[in-house]
Structure 1
């Protein structure tokens, strides 16, 4: 019987193109020649959460996946597919991706989390890190503001909506978080980068 640590994956059925699409095909079950189930190796700290699942979509690629927990390191949780695609979140704020192609290598979360908790109503800055074509780190600084919205119903839960508007020298993007009564992020739509676009997650 397959272990619960195997990533459950679903394919949307729509055609995809490009290197990212190829990765996502494998990520969400597009491999037509499976080599058997891939077991996700978890850290001891992740074992109490091994049954939890994260649902994710990348709208620009019409791709959907369900991920399992690989590791918990302090406040950062890393979710893993069977094809080595990982998404890392610091208490619900996206801080890194691997295996998507043009990955977000790192991002600050503290100021966003403070703003989500209502502790920083004014502007603040976030730093995002990417790699260029020569594998050199490229840092993007964004000025952000957080706005709390109304309560919305999602999957039977009443969640508070928060919109984080961020502007860089070249572009702007809006991250949206939905938190429960305890302040936990249950749903989010977050910017990965110009090539990947937005990642939406919920659990």
Structure 2
């Protein structure tokens, strides 16, 4: 998909008032990129540089899906208390709470709700490492909830430097190892010195694997 079609798709979301803010942000990215490039890039999210974000102050996340390789920019479309709903140009959305993915929409095999108290406490500054359950609920074709309960252990891997779009951040790396029956996965969280989840790898399902997220603008 070319740069123009990607961004125009995002801007078309402006017909929904809840997406006006995000469409304006994406439009700003389009203008910034266009001013610095003479030819369209294959995907603005891939080619984006820190300099191209100059003047953009609204929150922005870049994601990459493990199994599909899809790279997208996410902007905040709604705020519901501690939760934020982030939209991608293809209308896929992720609800985050302190950076934790608690719901997805538009993927197909979507997460309806996530309960991960140990990780939530860490990301919200209320706790540390330990063991606990992660419950992921999904909706089947009949809109019935299917819940999977994972046994998880959250460990502290110590300080690491994480580089996001050319900027190095001093962070602390945490790993959450989970298993349920024959299914297992590991999530990674890099929390910087200000308490922001600067980068993470979070498992979203067998169809997509993990979602790598980088917080470009706070």
Q: TM-score, normalised by structure 2?
A: 0.70
Question: What does residue 42 of structure 1 align with?
Answer: 18
Shift of 1:36: 6.8
8 Å contact from structure 1 (residues 102, 193) kept in 2: yes
- Change in Cα spacing, 1:52 to 1:187, as seen in structure 2 (3 Å) is same
Shift of 1:110: 3.1
Question: Which one has the bigger helix percentage?
Answer: 2
Shift of 1:144: 0.8
CA distance in 2, matches of 1:12, 1:150: 40
The one of 137, 140, 163 equivalent to 2:175 is 163
Q: What aligned pairs does 1:137-176 form with structure 2 within 5 A after superposition?
A: 137-153=145-161, 154=163, 155-176=167-188
Q: TM-score, normalised by structure 1?
A: 0.75
- Change in Cα spacing, 1:50 to 1:157, as seen in structure 2 (3 Å) is closer
Question: What does residue 205 of structure 2 align with?
Answer: 193
For this pair of structures, how many residues does the alignment match?
Answer: 176
Unaligned runs of 5+ in 2: 23-55
CA distance in 2, matches of 1:35, 1:180: 30
Question: What does residue 29 of structure 1 align with?
Answer: 6
Aligned-residue Cα RMSD (Å) equals: 3.2
- Change in Cα spacing, 1:132 to 1:181, as seen in structure 2 (3 Å) is same
Shift of 1:193: 0.8
CA distance in 1, matches of 2:10, 2:170: 42
Say which is worse superposed, 34-43 or 122-131, in terms of deviation: 34-43
8 Å contact from structure 2 (residues 10, 90) kept in 1: no
- Change in Cα spacing, 1:35 to 1:141, as seen in structure 2 (3 Å) is closer
